Chain A
Amino acid sequence: MAEFWQQVVAGLASGGIYASLALAVVLIYRSTGVINFAQGEMATFATYLALTFMNHGFSFWPAFWLTLACAFVGGVAIERVVIRPVENRPVLTVVIVTIGLLILINGLTSWIWGGAVRKFPSPFSTRPIHVAGVAFSIQDIGIIGVCLTAVVVLGLFFRFTKLGLALRAAALNPGASRLVGVRVSWMLALGWGLAAALGAVSGMMVAPVVFLDPNMMQGILLYALAAAVLGGIDSPLGAVVGGLTLGVLLNLLGTYVSTLGGEMRLVAGLAVILAVLIVRPAGLLGKTAVRRV
């Protein structure tokens, strides 16, 4: 029985990792209608930046906030320079541009910092805590806690601030928003900036666990997409719920269904994406889109 609970706890910990990147994916989808394939790479780049700050004397939290600021500026800059010219183009063009960004940023990260695996300090204690035969650490809880905090902050931002409202409006109906004076173009840039900052948070939470290397987020991106789809691609809370559920589900399947271990874990995760998309595209917590003819 202890093994079962250990797997659940481990699943929640992994799930926290998926959830954090899923949040960034959901945010950018919600504010711009685009899936940014470079999300993971941007997060990795920001994490390396944080490490550089810490190697130059900053302690963790100052480096954290500084990195967030840089990521935000970076996200806005990318949107202005690279996305804006193709804003009104078909979706495919934008997708290609994000793929180009993925290749570019990944290459940049490898080039500047090299491919070796590195340690990244965690703000939370990694000392193991044992409760009833199950082990976990403050770090595992910390990751989930940070994700939930982000969800709450985002929720408040979108609901109760003018800027948040403007962002939502710009994404839902750019034409009408312009008519009421919302600067749609800048709202998109803001969306990218926020998503980049969220991605940076994800990177800095995840790196202490999986260790930092230029391809750190590639394995996680898949599961993050699965988590986002499962929870509802336009729901931040859904991203967290989806991530945690996915983590636990995959662990239990992998442990108790022997054919689903090893490489099948990935297949199981992706089967989840497919199943959700086919049966209930809105996911657990998303809003079902109604198409009016």
Chain B
Amino acid sequence: MAMGRKLQVAAALLVVAVAAAGAGAAPRATPGVTSSSILLGGTIPLTGEASAAAGVAKGADAYFKYVNARGGVLGRKITYKYVDDGYEPQRTFLAMRQLVQQDGVFAMFNTLGTNNNIAIRQFLNQQGVPQLFVASGATTFGRDAKQYPWTIGYIPTYRAEAKVYARYLLKTKPKAKIAVLYQDDDYGKDLVSGLQAGLGKKASRIVKKVGYDPTASDVKSEVAQLKASGANTFMIFAFGKFSIQAFIYANQLGWHPQIFVNDVSSATSLMVLPPAKATEGAISIVFGKDPDSPAWKRDKGMKLFFSIMKRFSPGDNPNGYFAAGMASAYTLVDALKKAGKNLTRQGVMNAATHLNEKGNPFVLPGIVVRTTPSFRYPVAQVKLQRWHKGRWVIFGSLLSAKP
């Protein structure tokens, strides 16, 4: 009796195993794509020091849900599986392997962090997996296309951003004496090199630059050094709370230079923290519509943003990160549509490197998201904005932000 039962169980298991093997053995044209779905993979810091940026993935996810609710892309619903990497490149590496080798995603999208993306770029390119719209402003993701043809960035590069500041200074304050506070890593150094490149022969206008390590507790000493240089222009190429501290100390020290603050630290939620006198008149760049700015209250794109957030991501605070993620997602959907019904990895890569997108509701009006296989900087236009009485006010015309 016992033997009989055992045989039955074994037979059942055998049948299941064969069926499973059979199902698994069915050949798939393109990983991550079925007739009704597309599986995208991504890594994002949901925990850890950079967790504030997690909104980038969540915003994109909300947008995909919105698109799915309206029938998806050419009949396919998008699933965006994003995994926490705690901003550590080691974890990004393993998470990417899981997404590609285990889950079989169609492409990686919107992965955040410079070193995090470098950690996975080689493998993705070797395997021919698209690394789309990297959430990092490091120039390498657009510039090194020959070596890494499956990779493309999205936001304006840090180098380009600093060049914009340089050109503006040359035009409006050619005799400026510039002091620079920068984070002592690739991010800060990219900005510094862009500034120097943008100033060209006038690079000597930079009278002092001081780097700080992100493990520092505060930047009092560095700001004091910069003030002592006698500069009248202050570039804050710092991150998050260090940027706020820089504003405050400069003010406390009685130093009131023209301040330029880098885009990543220009979020309204950060800018309101120092006293008004410290931040008044600061300049930054902008390429997306800021949900915290009353200027976009009646804008159709912003209304769409808020309605999508309300419906598909309730309980989340709809700030600039979510909007940036949605802008990226919009472009991705655009690329997927262009790639057509017969969706392949090469196809989406072609689409992504031949963009000519004019109607992205989440970026500034007039910005054209344009790419070619050798110009992989989708968003390469920005405007300047000035902090005035508690909010950002955009001024001037659209400027080129080519690296």
| Interface residue ranges, A against B (CB under 8 Å) | 2-3, 6-7, 10-11, 13-14, 17-18, 107, 110, 115-119, 126, 128, 130, 135-137, 209-211, 213, 215, 219-220, 222-223, 250-251, 254-255, 261-266
Contact = CB atoms under 8 A, between A and B. Distances in A.
A271 to B, nearest CB: 14
Contacts of B54: 115
11 contacts: A10-B221, A11-B221, A14-B218, A17-B217, A116-B269, A117-B52, A128-B252, A210-B217, A210-B218, A254-B225, A261-B212
Interface in B236-255: 240-241, 244-245, 248, 251-254
A121 to B, nearest CB: 12
Contact of B270 (A115, A117, A251): A117
Contacts of A130: 254
Contacts, number: 102
B82 to A, nearest CB: 16
Contacts of A263: 184, 211, 213, 215
Interface of A is mostly: helix
Given A6-B253, A7-B224, A209-B245, 11 more contacts: A6-B224, A10-B221, A110-B47, A117-B240, A213-B241, A220-B217, A222-B215, A251-B220, A255-B225, A263-B211, A266-B215
B224 A3 contact: yes
Interface of B: 47-49, 51-52, 54, 184, 210-213, 215-218, 220-222, 224-225, 228, 240-241, 244-245, 248, 251-254, 269-270, 273, 275, 317
Contact of A119 (B184, B211, B225, B273): B273
A135 B49 contact: no
Contact of B241 (A2, A211, A261, A265): A211
B216 A266 contact: yes
Contacts of A264: 213
Given A6-B253, A211-B244, A251-B221, A266 B213 contact: yes
Contacts of A135: 252-254
A137 B249 CA distance: 10
B215 A219 contact: yes
B373 to A, nearest CB: 38
Given A117-B273, A128-B254, A261-B210, A3 B228 contact: yes
B251 A14 contact: no
B52 A115 contact: yes
8 smallest A-B Cβ distances: which pairs? Answer: A262-B211, A263-B213, A115-B51, A3-B228, A262-B184, A10-B220, A128-B252, A251-B221
Contacts of B221: 7, 10-11, 14, 250-251, 254-255
A110 B51 contact: yes
B18 to A, nearest CB: 44
Contacts of B253: 6, 128, 135
A151 B317 CA distance: 42
Nearest to A127: B252
A219 B217 contact: yes
Contacts of A219: 215-217
Nearest to B225: A255
